[in-house]
């Protein structure tokens, strides 16, 4: 905020935790479970990691305007990359969390503490329930929307920011 930035958007990739989500789908987070260590260095885990409402709705509207397959709901931030076993994935799947990524909980928590706005949009690059993974599977087996998913997420983010 010292340089004038008041709104932050975590834009990147995630792993889907629900079987009906495809590589290339977009996820807008309504909150993030804190399964990582960084946010806990700033506040106790009982404090919710939630996005700013205006940023959240701006991301949803920008995705809808772009005719994206969008999933809106809670996610989990976890810093133990590639350490998800079947039981871990099943627990989050059963809790109806949409996706797993690494940064949103910290971005949401720090922004809220500093009086700033934050949101998160992620594009699915693999499905931990279905066992699909961009780069591991033949591109021919993936849906067309998987081919430029990161670029589309960036465009949505830029469109959302300009509308705020």
Domain ranges of the chain: 7-163
Q: Tell me the pLDDT tens digit for each residue of 42-93.
A: 999 999 999 999 999 999 999 999 999 899 999 999 998 777 788 989 999 9
Residue of higher predicted confidence among 14 and 69 = 14
Is 22 a residue whose pLDDT tops 80?
A: yes
Confidence of residue 115 (pLDDT cuts 50, 70, 90): very high
Rounded (to 5) percent helix, strand, coil in the chain: 35, 30, 35
Question: Would you give the end-to-end CA distance of the chain in angstroms?
Answer: 17
**What is the per-residue pLDDT for 155?**
96
**Contact predicate 118/18, CB 8 Å:** no
**What is the per-residue pLDDT for 131?**
83
The CATH class given to the 7-163 domain equals alpha beta
- Tell which residue, 123, 164, 122, has the closest CA to residue 146: 123
How do beta strands 117-127 and 132-133 pair? antiparallel
**Contact predicate 133/65, CB 8 Å:** no
Cα–Cα distance measured from residue 154 to residue 9, given in angstroms and rounded to the nearest whole number: 10
Q: Tell me the pLDDT tens digit for each residue of 129-164.
A: 988 777 665 666 667 787 788 899 999 999 999 999
- Residues 6 or more apart in contact with residue 67 via CB below 8 angstroms: none
**What is the per-residue pLDDT for 64?**
96
- Residues 6 or more apart in contact with residue 118 via CB below 8 angstroms: 7, 8, 9, 10, 51, 52, 55, 107, 108, 110, 111, 112
**What is the per-residue pLDDT for 80?**
83
At 149, give phi and psi (nearest 5°): -65, -40
Beta-bridge mates of residue 11: 121
């Amino acid at each position: 905020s010292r340089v004038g930035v008041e709104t932050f958007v975590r834009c990147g990739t995630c792993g889907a935790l629900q079987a009906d989500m495809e590589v290339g789908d977009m996820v807008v987070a309504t909150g993030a479970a804190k399964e990582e260590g960084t946010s806990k260095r700033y506040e106790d885990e009982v404090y919710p990691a939630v996005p700013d409402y205006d940023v959240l709705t701006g991301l949803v509207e920008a995705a809808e305007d772009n005719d994206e397959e969008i999933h809106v709901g809670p996610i989990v931030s976890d810093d133990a990359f590639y350490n998800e076993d079947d039981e871990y994935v099943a627990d989050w799947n059963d809790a109806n969390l949409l996706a797993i990524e690494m940064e949103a909980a910290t971005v949401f928590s720090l922004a809220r503490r500093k009086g700033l706005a934050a949101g998160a949009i992620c594009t699915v690059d693999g499905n931990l329930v279905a066992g699909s993974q961009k780069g591991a599977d033949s591109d021919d087996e993936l849906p067309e929307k998987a081919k430029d998913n990161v670029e589309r997420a960036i465009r949505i983010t830029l469109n959302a920011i300009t509308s705020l």
